[in-house]
Amino acid sequence: MRRASEAGTETARASTPAMLDAIERIGNSVPHPVLIFLILIAIAVIASHLLYLLDASISYQIINPATHGTETVTARANSLLTTEGIRHIYTRLVPNFMGFSAVGLLIVAMIGVGVAEESGLVNACIRKLVAASPRWTLSYILALVGILSSVASDAGYLVLIPLAGTALMSVGRHPLAGLALGFAGVASAFSVNMLIKPLDAVLTELTNDAIHIVNPSLSIEVTANLWFSIVSVVVLTIVIALITERIMEPRLGAYREDQASATLPPHEGGQLSARETRGLRYAVAGLLAVTLVFCLLTLPPWAPLRDPATGALVGNSPFMNGLIGLVMILFLVTGIAYGIGAGTITHTTDVIDAMTKAVSGMGGTILLFLVISQFVDYFTYSNIPTLLAVKMADTLKDASIGPLWLLLGLIAVVAILDLVFTPAIATWAIFAPVFVPLFVQLAVDPAAVLAAYRVGDGPMNSITPLNPYFALVVGFAQKYDRKAGVGTVIALMLPYVLCMSALWTLLFVAWYLLGLPWGV
């Protein structure tokens, strides 16, 4: 019996890589991502017109973030083939691209990151981290930092994901496993953190506005999910690291640099040289200088980067709204300082060349962003995502099931919808006035409802092509494997999504059944 059991286990282990390889082959056999989104645009145009002819519409309540009041809104399918629709397509081409925030964030961040990388700072920091940390902790450290990076909004996508690939490659491990690890931490666990971040404030406001529909005297604090979030971070860090080491790396095998699309920079092993050590000292001095300047710009009550009306530093403040600028300056200053100390930067043209190289390498990604921005706008204009979200919410609300099953249904609905409708705030603005009052009347803690939303909204972010940064990760993967495509990234991320969804949901159920406090 024992031998039969062991044989069954080995068969199951062998079938998992085979299934992922099949997913990768199928995914990579589809057209180039640019063509995929052009096809999706055509589908959205046709679907919008069909729904328009059927006069598809739905009325629902939504919370207005500006007035904090509820409004009844009627959403109708808008056709992209009517006079107004054609006019919209024609006039929105440039505004859609210019308003696609991922483009600006990417270019600005890569200016600083490019200098840090070309000067050798990134490589030296990774080698220092590897030398100072036990080998087995590297996956856990990168996963934790990836999850915590959400406090800096989208900066983790631009910095942590490529850094994780480089870090694993520097110790002889497969860089694609590092990219997958970083993407899972940054995207799939984006909704939780050990710190309070701007997203928490907005979600809490929307939740309180929904509570006040039925109970004006009840409110939750911005820390209402803090304990659940902290434990979630710990659990997800372990899950991400274990999946990387037990599933991803065995499947990928040993990495061969001849798979790369271009010559990769060398990754020296061993101790840092005297010049590299001096460069790191200069970089630390640059870091302290930047920190001092931004402390003066943020900490005093009169600081210019505080909210001019409320004096707040976190939330809708100049500091948080321009945080990507801090990321650029941080990498730029420390990269230049390291280069001067290590002797890799000897002239101002070296800095300009590094910036130019970083930006010029993003040509394909920027083209893809141009097409994605059009699809997102047309899809939103058609009102198909809103019709789908409200219909799913109403169906779940009308289901005659107990509170726990209803919470699990909310998690499932949010997860499914996340594949086609990714904005966390916009989705909760629709769902909160539907579900929060319902659960309040069922004597369920509103904090539990918000926690359920976080669980549903997280994992799918790393496999939906509608994530603005999905295309960026495909580009990162092609750096290490010229044959990589959409299928490669989906096959890499699917084990993370499935395991994180299952275990995170089990954590939520256990928390609910034990009656543990969700936060402060």
Stated length of the chain? 520
Residues 455-465 have a mean pLDDT of 89
Each residue's pLDDT tens digit, 300-316:
988 999 988 888 886 67
Residues 338-346 have a mean pLDDT of 93
pLDDT the model gives residue 4: 43
Residues 472-479 have a mean pLDDT of 88
Higher-pLDDT residue of 348, 70? 348
Which helix H or strand E contains 63, and what residues bound it? strand 57-63
Report residue 173 as tokens: 């491990």
Q: What is the mean pLDDT of the chain?
A: 84
The answer to whether residue 153 scores a pLDDT higher than 70 is: no
The partner residues of 63 in beta bridges, in order of sequence, read 70
pLDDT the model gives residue 466: 76
Chain mean position to CA 251:
24
pLDDT the model gives residue 237: 97
> What is the spatial distance between Cα 450 and Cα 146, in angstroms, rounded to a whole number?
22
pTM for this entry: 0.76
The three-class DSSP label of residue 62 is strand
The answer to whether residue 343 scores a pLDDT higher than 70 is: yes
| Residue of 401, 398, 411 lying closest to 511 (CA atoms) | 411
